[in-house]
Structure 1
C-alpha cells in the first residue's frame, strides 16, 4: 500500500503513521533499526528495493531523503509517500522528496521520524559526502555506509574515506570483498603452511575493491603486493584475480566467469568455486548484521591503503 502526502510536513507524516498503526496496517513494534537513505530525486527505487529485500532479515523503518544538491531556486516543498505491506517488505518505508530550502536541513526532516531507542544507519547509495560522519545525516547515525564504486573517482573516494575515517564508517567496496577474503583465508589454511613471499592482485583500474583487497593482504601478510590493473575495455569490472607466491608454488584464485572463480594450488586439482558479484541487497544485509564499528576495515582504509600506495610508488 502506498499513501501519498503531497506538500506536507513532518508533523503530518507522523500523524499519518500513527493512524496507519492504529488501523492495523503497520506497526513499529519489532523494528530493530532505522535506515536513512540519501539519494538524488528520481533515483530512489533501486535503493528502496534493496532495503525491502534486506528488511526480511532486518525488520526496520526506512526513511529515504531524496533531493537534488544545489537546488535552492525551487520553492520549498516536501512531498512524502508512506509504503507499507507488500510495497515495503518487512519494513515500513517513508519517502521524503524535498525541494528548495526544505532540502537544506536533512536532519530536521528525519529526526521526528526516527524509531525511539533504536540504532540509526545512514546509507548513501550514490554520491556521498566528503566526510560522512560530519554530514547532517551522518551525525545522527551509528553506522554510515558509502559506496566508493558509485563515485566519480572510486579510488580517490577510498583514500578520502581513509583520511576522514571515524569508527562506524564503512563502504560497499569492502563488503564486496567478503567472499574473496573467505576463499583466500581457506586456501591458506591448507598445507603446506609456508610463508607467503609475494602477492599479486589484478582488477579493473577503477575498482576500489581491488585496492582494498591488496591493502588487506599486504597488512595481514606483511609482504609486498603488486597491483595489476586494466581498463574496462580489456577486462571485466571489479577484481580479476589474486596470486599468492610460496616456495612450493603459487596459489591462484582467478574469476573465470561472472559468478565462478578458479582456484589453483600446487599438487592439487583445479577447483571451480562459486564467487558471485554481490548485489546491493547482499551488501546491505551484511552491513546491517553488525552495528558496531568494523575495526578491520578501519585499519585497512586508514593504514593499509596509504602503505600500499607508498610501496607502489617506491
Structure 2
C-alpha cells in the first residue's frame, strides 16, 4: 500500500502507475471502473463489499470520501492498493476536504480505466437528483440503495422521478431470489393470477418493488399487507383463476412454498452479503427494463424505460444552501426577538 497525504491528483496518478508496474500481471484485465461514494464511517464496509464483487469482476476501485466542504483549505489524502487486501483489483481510496470535495471529478477522471464501463455506487443515502453529482453523470451504470434513506419509500419515489436508463437500486437486487422462486412456481401451470398480496413492513422498499413487479408482470393490483412482526418482507400470496393459491413464506434463511393440492416445499431464501448483491448488479451494464417497469409501477409513473440515458450535470453547492438556510433562520430569530 502507498499512502499519500496532502497530495495532488497528479501525484496520485503517478503513484498508481508506479504501483501497477510493480504488481505486474495482478493489475491487468480490468473489466470496469467502480466508483464508490461513501462516508468515512462506512469506508471499511464498502471496501469489504467491493472486495467480494471484484473477485467476480476485476476492476479499478475508486473510493471517494468527501467531507467538510466549507473548510478554508483544500486537502487530498489517498491510499493506493494494487492486488493487496482488496483482492484482484486496483484500489485508490481518496479523502477530499474543503472545496475540492465539490469537484471530486477533477481527481477521479484521470484515474478511470480507458475504454471500459464506469459504475458509480452510493453506499449511503442516495442523492435526490443524480445529475447534481458529476460522478453519477459520467457513469454508464448507477447503483443506489433506498434502504439507506431516512424514508425508504419516499426515496424510491425519488428514484422513479429521477430515473434514467442505467439506474438501479439494491432494494431491487434483494428481491431477485423472491422473483426467481415466484416465477419458478409457474413452470408447471398456465393458470392466470387474479389476486396477489405482499406481507411486509410499511417502510420496506423491497416490498414496494415486489408489488410493482407483480403489477407490471401480471396486470393486477397487488395488495400490501403491513406487518410490524418482521423487519423484512415476510410473504407473497398469489390466487389463480382456477382456485389455486400459492404462498411463499420466509423464515430466517428458508422459505416454505405452499400450493393448493401439493405438499409443502422448503426452499433456500438466504439474505446475501452486500458484496454479493453488488456483484449481481455488476454482471449487467445495460439498462434494466424490468426494474424500470417495476419502479415506475410502484411509484405510479410510466415510460421510465423510454427516457434518455444521458444526464446533464447540474451544479449544486451544498455549502451555499446551508448558508442560505442559516441566514433565513437568523432572520427569523431576529424578527421574533424584535
TM-score by length of 2: 0.85
Q: Residue deviations 1:60-118, cap 9 Å, x none? A: 000000023x6312531000001122312111110001111111112112001111111
Residues 73-222 of structure 1: pairs in structure 2 closer than 5 A: 73=71, 75-191=73-189, 193-222=190-219
In the aligned structure 1, how far is the partner of 2:58 from the partner of 2:75? Answer: 30
Q: Does 1:49 align with 2:41?
A: no
Q: Could you tell me whether the CA contact under 8 Å between 1:78 and 1:98 is conserved in 2?
A: yes
Displacement of 1:25: 5.4
- Give the match for residue 29 of structure 1: 28
Partner SS state of residue 188, structure 1: coil
- Is residue 264 from structure 1 mapped to residue 258 from structure 2 by the alignment? yes
CA offset at residue 22 of structure 1?
A: 2.2
Q: Hey, what's the Cα distance between the residues in 2 that align with 1:161 and 1:286? A: 20
Shift of 1:28: 4.1
Question: Which residue of the partner structure matches residue 247 of structure 2?
Answer: 252
Q: Aligned to 2:279, which of 254, 266, 285?
A: 285
Q: Is the 8 A contact 2:26 2:83 kept in 1?
A: no
Q: Aligned partners of 2:137 and 2:145: how far apart in 1?
A: 18
Partner of 2:336: none
TM-score, normalised on structure 1?
Answer: 0.92
Q: Please list every run of 5 or more consecutive structure 1 residues that lacks an aligned counterpart in the other structure.
A: 309-314
The match for 1:243 among 237, 242, 257 is: 237
Contact 2:255 2:269 in 1 (8 A): yes
Separation of aligned partners in 1, 2:301 and 2:158: 15
**Structure 2: where are the runs of 5+ without partners?**
303-338
State the match for 2:226 in structure 1: 229
Structure 2 equivalent of residue 8 of structure 1: 7
Q: Is the 8 A contact 1:26 1:85 kept in 2?
A: no
Secondary structure of 2:40's aligned partner:
coil
1:156-209 alpha-carbon deviations (Å, 9 max, x no partner): 111111011100000000011111001000112223x22111100011221100
- Matches of 1:155 and 1:126, distance apart in 2: 15
1-structure distance, mates of 2:211, 2:12: 47
Shift of 1:27: 5.2
Q: Kindly indicate whether the alpha-carbon contact (under 8 Å) linking 2:255 and 2:268 is maintained by their aligned counterparts in 1.
A: yes
In 1, Cα distance between equivalents of 2:82 and 2:18: 13
3-state SS in 1 of match to 2:111 = coil
The answer to whether the 8 Å contact 1:39/1:65 transfers is yes
CA 1:134–1:293: 2 relative to 1, 3 Å: farther
Q: Tell me what 2:289 maps to.
A: 295
Contact between 2:160 and 2:301, CA under 8 Å: does it hold in 1? no
Instruction: Report the CA distance between 1:300 and its aligned residue.
Output: 1.6
> In structure 2, what is the Cα distance between the partners aligned to 1:154 and 1:54?
25
Residue matched to 1:274: 268
Q: What CA deviation, in whole Å up to 9, does each residue of 1:232-289 have, x standing for no partner?
A: xx22x22111000123331000002x11010000111101110011221111101100
Q: Give, in angstroms, the shift of residue 303 of structure 1.
A: 3.4
1:145 alignment partner, SS class: strand
Contact 1:133/1:144, CA 8 A, preserved across alignment: no
